[in-house]
């Protein structure tokens, strides 16, 4: 197995896209350090642990809880993972928060929260990943298809994910000599509970109609791309890979 003995830290790693990435990386032998945020994640973690053990009984899996919007919390997460596993080879950051509103209705508090979750967290995860990931490692941040589209109402969401592209470009150059590849993956509107609360039924149909086969992106479309970047795709670095069934294609 390509990742036997490797340690992958996945933030937001117990449900939806993060959980699917965990299952995918378990399938190629990676040990898994899985972070979750809300207290409800404990139940998701228990369910996922059973699935992972069935998929690959020989891997080590551990779980970590925390709000990662402070630099100190991100530092502690990495310290805990290194204490438990000895090293970190792969980091996949799936943390995100969406807001769909006209800019005239977005408060300062909402702006600060969006940038704390989508930009600040991504920055400090990259910082700690740069400090801890072993030579030849992989660092992947999840952004959004909206970085490739002109769309109203997601201004604070796309706007707070946009800096991650440049963080990634800078970090990829800084880590090139250590053969660490650093990339973003940008899914299209994805069929998870993250997507639905802010969308009307008509909007859901509109999003579907922009994708190949008239459907949303599925987590199963994205997780194999993450695996590829962690294995055979190691030569790719500094990129944002748009995977959205044509959603952003003109
Ligand atoms: N679903 C879509 O339509 C879509 C499309 C394109 C890109 N994306 C991106 O894909 C990624 C995964 O999304 P998903 O659909 O799989 O939904 P998701 O499971 O809800 O992923 C978001 C994760 O971020 C965590 N999070 C939020 N605030 C946090 C904080 N302060 N500290 C630490 N973690 C925090 C969430 O934990 P809690 O739920 O416990 O707060 C959750 O685990 C996100 O970055 C999202 O922006 C999603």
135-175 pLDDT, tens digit each: 999 999 999 999 999 889 999 999 999 999 999 999 999 99
Q: Is the CB of 100 under 6 A from ligand 1?
A: no
Atom 48 of ligand 1, nearest CA residue: 190
Please give the pLDDT value at position 250.
Answer: 62
Q: Is the CB of 141 under 6 A from ligand 1?
A: no
For residues 59 and 90, is the Cβ–Cβ distance under 8 A? no
Q: What are 34's two structure tokens?
A: 């899985």
Catalytic sites, residue numbers = 157
DSSP element (H, E) containing 159 = helix 155-175
Q: Which domains does the chain have, with CATH numbers?
A: 7-236 (3.40.50.720)
Q: What is the pLDDT of residues 79-127, one digit of tens each?
A: 999 999 999 999 999 999 999 999 999 999 999 999 999 999 999 999 9
Q: What is the pLDDT of residues 120-130, one digit of tens each?
A: 999 999 999 99
Q: Is the CB of 13 under 6 A from ligand 1?
A: no
Question: What gap in Å lies between CA 211 and CA 133, rounded to an integer?
Answer: 35
Please give the pLDDT value at position 225.
Answer: 98
Question: What gap in Å lies between CA 176 and CA 87, rounded to an integer?
Answer: 19
């Amino acid at each position: 197995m390509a990742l036997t003995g490797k340690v992958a830290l996945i933030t937001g790693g117990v449900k939806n896209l993060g959980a699917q990435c965990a299952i995918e990386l378990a399938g190629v032998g990676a040990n898994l350090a899985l972070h979750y945020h809300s207290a409800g994640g404990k139940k998701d973690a228990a369910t996922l642990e059973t699935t992972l053990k069935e998929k690959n009984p020989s891997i080590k899996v551990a779980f970590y809880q925390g709000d990662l919007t402070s630099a100190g919390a991100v530092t502690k997460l990495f310290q805990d993972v290194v204490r438990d596993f000895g090293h970190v080879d792969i980091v996949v950051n799936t943390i995100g928060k969406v807001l769909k509103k006209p800019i005239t209705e977005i408060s300062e508090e909402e702006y600060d929260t969006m940038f704390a979750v989508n930009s600040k967290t991504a920055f400090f995860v990259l910082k700690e990943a740069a400090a801890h990931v072993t030579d030849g490692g992989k660092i992947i941040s999840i952004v959004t298809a909206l970085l490739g589209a002109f769309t109203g109402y997601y201004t604070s969401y796309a706007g707070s994910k946009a800096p991650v592209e440049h963080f990634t470009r800078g970090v990829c150059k800084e880590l090139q000599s250590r053969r660490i590849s650093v990339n973003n993956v940008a899914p299209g509107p994805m069929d998870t509970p993250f997507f639905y609360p802010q969308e009307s039924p008509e909007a859901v149909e509109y999003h579907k109609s922009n994708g190949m086969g008239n459907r949303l992106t599925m987590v199963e479309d994205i997780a194999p791309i993450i695996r590829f970047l962690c294995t055979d795709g190691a030569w790719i670095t500094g990129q944002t890979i748009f995977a959205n069934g044509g959603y952003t294609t003109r």
